[in-house]
Chain A
């Protein structure tokens, strides 16, 4: 009757249950599909599974039909019946549910052909969106835990370290230090017992790679950790996960339980002498706890305050014992390297940055989501070919990488390769992989203020350069964006930024000035405009512009007047309306509700002679 099941191939319908899709009721979609299958009595030919995050949350809820590879987007509960009767039974896929290219409108049925996925090399994210993260059998069926078996059967701990070192796997949390070397330092260090730690405190705003990996493929992280524990000689491991990721934590707990049942954790793992138990520690909302020494302090029940290094954690970590700490993605890469070999891994990427990088591409971008690509891929390809460029006909202005520790790179840096060295040289950093795209409507001074505000709030307070330095920078930026900037400000910010960089105790402080320094370096004209002309070119800084209704364009629909919370808009129906600037609180609601055909509400600079 229909093509898929006549091959005796079970049709599998995969429903995404990552945090994003769950927020749009994907579990109910799954239930509706299961009911429809039962009603049609085809449960022996079709099954439904839930998966973790595909990394394409903007298109969610996502449903995939395998083995065809059809990719459905924005699914609603009502679509379930049709998917079963039309696609599964009648063999007619639902074309209106296909992914549509946001720029061309072209419908692309198969996920392998979608540009967003086509250009990716998914290693860390290999299973995300394709397996049931709560079923260890699914993980095992894709080759899961075979690397662990291989290690126990064929490698000594030293050989594991050598293989990882040879692969040139560098820390994916942003530090970029050789994982193999770190493991070696820890193994060689004097002190027992040794500890293994997974840093799952993904605090960079704009980053959710670790979340998706933990929700979608928790076993890949566990397997990597068990191999690492074997290599360094640890018997107890911690996963420090931020409390803002409750689903990830739940999936991890379940995965740990399953791994124990299958004897991949516990005593005498796979008949070897390795014993390992993994404990989950929940963060309590402190960004600084992503810094390794602060993280360890938090594990030990203290305030998350960093300390100077040396001694490094490999020598003296939690409880004063040698500890190895790595990021989620670093551990998730380990099983693949063991199975496919160090040479295979180091053939991907660029000279000093091997393997793949996972970026969270967000902000003003057509295709927002997680992208895994070989290190060294040019930013232009990531943003335009994969990301689909900037929507709504707006001009690209900047891309921010590395979270609050990183910097903003302008248009003329788009051909830079995305690797540790190139990004650092340009003034930014690779970081954990956050990549936020900004367009002509983004004010770069406002962005610098945003990041300093964040870093200032998250500063632990221990050292003066960070605690007081970021506060002074924030005050200055607040003055500049409110039209109170002084001529000497740019120079002061540069001096201050350099001092903070050089003298802060930890990475948070040392990198806190990066957003300010890079925006001054690449967008100095915007600072000058704010300071000298009291003008915000992007018209984002509220105190420097006001809203004005163009009487030539206003159609008098009253949409703005009805929504204005300050009752500042007056006018008769079908007559041009007027905003009373004394009452206006600049909430921007009128600007967003004015019909596209009119576009009568505009932003006007406050300074005399300021145009639109």
Chain B
């Protein structure tokens, strides 16, 4: 998971460098937003304001673009990002039950983060791993042939990871 850094100064500097490299090209706005989110984990109000000033696009337009695309998030994600595939093959192989099980285990619904900040849950339309349905991805690691009974032990692995290393 990308480093999540709230330091305003770092953020301004990062965005500044990014914009300079892109030569202030408004048409590259989606790519700029993607790079900022990769670096900071999400698009904060502040980040959007900074981008707006640097690229010279009104904030409302940036919000219009960012809210259109599913990839962008506006709140800090958890340490581990869980993406549940809701594609056709995954659905037919019991994907809905997987989503419900995770939501129940973590006591959150999709789009939310657990109160301890450990997990965020997102739904994805299709990961293209249909022959391994049902699939969930945690921190870019693909877990295929999932079943409701495997969820608990899988999530435990990440609890333990954080416990022993004391975070990253």
Contacts and interface: CB of A to CB of B under 8 A. Distances in A.
A410 B104 CA distance: 36
Contacts of B30: 281, 284, 298, 301
Interface residues of A, number: 63
A23 B141 contact: yes
Interface in A203-221: 203-208, 211
A51 to B, nearest CB: 16
Given A243-B71, A304-B69, A587-B100, A360 B130 contact: yes
Contacts of B144: 20, 23-24, 57
- Residue among B69, B87, B88, B97 with max Cβ neighbours from chain A (10 Å): B88
Contacts of A202: 128
Nearest to B137: A23
Contacts of B34: 243, 282, 284
Contacts of A458: 125
A529 to B, nearest CB: 20
Contacts of A450: 88, 91
B69 A20 contact: no
Contact of B88 (A20, A22, A400): A400
A206 B104 contact: no
Contacts of A60: 132
Contacts of B148: 587-589, 592
A284 B130 contact: no
Interface string A266-304: 000000000000000111111100000000001111111
Contacts of B87: 205-206
A281 B27 CA distance: 11
Interface in A422-469: 434, 436, 438, 442, 447, 450-451, 454, 458, 460
Contact of B142 (A19, A206, A368): A19
A-B complex: 3 closest residue pairs judged by Cβ atoms: A205-B87, A285-B70, A23-B142
A212 B104 CA distance: 34
Contact of B132 (A23, A301, A434, A460): A23
Given A246-B140, A363-B92, A368 B130 contact: yes
Contacts of A460: 68
A56 interface: yes
B163 interface: no
Given A284-B34, A301-B29, A206 B89 contact: yes
Contact of B133 (A243, A302, A362, A585): A362
Contacts of B141: 23
Given A20-B144, A298-B30, A303-B65, A592 B128 contact: no
Contacts of B101: 565, 587, 589
Given A243-B34, A363-B93, A403-B88, A19 B129 contact: yes
14 contacts: A23-B144, A58-B131, A206-B88, A281-B31, A284-B72, A301-B29, A362-B88, A362-B130, A368-B131, A438-B92, A450-B91, A565-B104, A565-B105, A592-B148
Contacts of B133: 362-363, 368
